[in-house]
Amino acid sequence: MTTDHRSCDELSPIRIRLEELHRRYQAFHEGTVATYIPELAHANPDWFAICLATTDGFIYEVGDFAQPFTIQSISKPFVYGLALEDNGRNALLTKVGVEPSGDAFNAISLHKTNGRPLNPMINAGAIATTGQVRASSPTERFERIRACIGRFAGRPLEVDVGVYESESRTGHRNRAIGHLLRNFDVLTDDPMADVEVYFRQCAISVTCRDLAVMAATLANHGLNPMTGERAISGDHVECVLSVMASCGMYDYAGGWIYHVGMPAKSGVAGGVLAVLPGQLGIGVFSPRLDDHGNSARAIRVCEELSRLWDLHQFDPPPGAHHAMRLAYTAADHGSTRSRSAAERACLRRHGEGIRVVELQGSLMFSSTERIVRDLSNRELPSFLVIDCHHVTEVNAAAAALLFELADRFAARGTTVLLTHATHLAPLEAAFRRHESRSPAESRLRFSTTDDALEWCEDAVLEKAMPSPPPRTLDRLADHGLVRGLTATQVERLAAIMKPMIVRRGDRLVTAGDEAASIILLIRGLASAWNPIPGGRDRRLATFTAGAMVGEMAFAEESPRSATVIAESDVECLVLQRSDFDSLRDTDPGIHAVVWRNIACAIADKLRKANHDLGVYDHAPLSRG
């Protein structure tokens, strides 16, 4: 384990299983260490390591995980990735194919007429690929390769000069391949220079831990999960993984994908690297090779791991299926904006026209297809809010489907709004495009669903209420706090209340302060905010004229629980506790009625909260 985590993952069943696997295969001695590169014969046949790296950057390491060895053929997919970046897919395909050869790694398998190597994972294709890396000199070509592989490993890598020289002295078969490639103009300059660069790239020294990180970087779409550095553009990762899947294990490629089911690559020094896209990178190292030239232990270990944890690629993870987390309307759950009784009644009547769908998990074709099917088979609402708070990722295809849906809905008069999506770049971009086609005044992206709901509710109220309720209260007599008092009693109460003006952006109330007063809003807009984990604030409520602020803490005599900020210049009336208390002796009737009104205001809030909570009893629109 990495030292940081040693203490806490002692109990991890994953670590325990890896150690058990390592113990068991330590006794497995089949295969022989490669000797055709003389220097490789010096490897200790008992070296054995297993490493797993996750796409969120955690590494499990067992055995000789820090033992250096040469990368050999495992360099091939990474150099192929670099050549793809330099040349693009189509140009590179004219030089090197992508068909499995079914031949040994060192076979001279070139296309009969054009001399094009069958794939970049056998030596012929790899040497041709190395020659396609852009550079003005062999040294520069090698340095670019070394830097690229280093980005995958997350550290600078060195060449094992002994192994390089050993292969360079003996690698006549690869030289023959180089000359053939030159003959067919697959290589155009000095082919021997390219072969030397290839020998050097094969002699780059890595550890089993490096292999796991390199694999995890491929699993993570080209972004190294340890360093956060991009090793290769994500667009090319699928090409690299494809050739690994079909050709990475030479003439065992078919058996490997059948039994293990992961794109992989092996090298004659005993390394094997396997990738579970989106999830995991695996590195296994043990120098004894089987007849195909693949590490015998590594093959067994990977087969077991794949069975043990269902890692086979064609055994896809569930998750595509429950993308609709919750569906409700504004009649079930409104915004936190405080509304008058008339407004609330209106929203209960018309709130069905504002529909919210909360999506979750990973949005890809299959999960999005269900959402799209569900939404397009129902009666269209006036507003559709797509809440992505619980969406973890979205691919370009899913973003495009939702964008098209929004466009088509808009053409039929449904406004589609997107919330909580700033972490989903493709979706944000799609909706920005959608927004740019919509009428200028419409805002379609909101940071929270609460904001979007408030916006939709305002639009509904504007249309449905011919004479909107006044935005200001002129007299205390209109306020809920004094309901049931006579005109003279209201006047007596008014006499002990003090007017207060709070400028936009300033605080009416600060969380933690003593609750020495109740504040009545007469004019303007104010919002209550509560801190939530992650250092952000969540809006609890928005108050307008007629609202009572701070009555809960006032009643409990507890500190203020939220901070209330003026969103516009706000006019209020403040009732101080000491003044209110003195009413108990001078005007017990007023005192009692005001208390009852405070209790009613609290009951009203509780009722709304209970009603809103009912939304979680709703079944999602679609399941399974």
Contacts with ligand GLN by CB under 6 A lie at: 72-73, 105-106, 123, 167, 174, 202, 267-268, 293
Minimum Å gap between C-beta 174 and ligand GLN is: 5
Minimum Å gap between C-beta 189 and ligand GLN is: 20
What is the spatial distance between Cα 549 and Cα 519, in angstroms, rounded to a whole number?
5
Q: Residue 199: count other Cβ atoms within 10 Å of its Cβ.
A: 25
Q: What is the DSSP string of 207-236?
A: -HHHHHHHHHHHHTTTB-TTT--B-S-HHH
Minimum Å gap between C-beta 163 and ligand GLN is: 9
Dihedral angle sign, alpha carbons of residues 157, 161, 167, 168: positive
Minimum Å gap between C-beta 103 and ligand GLN is: 12
C-beta contacts of 90-93 below 8 A and 24+ residues apart: 92/129, 92/132
Nearer to ligand GLN, 25 or 105 (CB): 105
Nearer to ligand GLN, 72 or 544 (CB): 72
Nearer to ligand GLN, 168 or 279 (CB): 168
Cβ contacts of 550 within 8 Å, gap of 6 or more: 508, 509, 515, 517, 518, 519, 560, 564
Token pair for 285: 């190292």
Nearer to ligand GLN, 73 or 224 (CB): 73
Minimum Å gap between C-beta 73 and ligand GLN is: 3
Minimum Å gap between C-beta 158 and ligand GLN is: 17
**Do 512 and 607 touch, CB atoms closer than 8 A?**
no
**Do 252 and 246 touch, CB atoms closer than 8 A?**
no
Minimum Å gap between C-beta 129 and ligand GLN is: 13
User: What is the C-alpha end-to-end distance of the chain, expressed in Å?
Assistant: 38
Nearer to ligand GLN, 18 or 272 (CB): 272
Minimum Å gap between C-beta 159 and ligand GLN is: 12
Minimum Å gap between C-beta 202 and ligand GLN is: 4
Closest CA to 524 of 480, 561, 491, 564: 564
What is the spatial distance between Cα 174 and Cα 164, in angstroms, rounded to a whole number?
13
267 phi-psi bin (left φ>0, alpha ψ -120 to 50, beta other): beta
Nearer to ligand GLN, 163 or 456 (CB): 163
Nearer to ligand GLN, 153 or 388 (CB): 153
Closest CA to 257 of 312, 187, 297: 312
Nearer to ligand GLN, 78 or 409 (CB): 78
**Single-letter amino acid, residue 398:** A
Nearer to ligand GLN, 105 or 455 (CB): 105
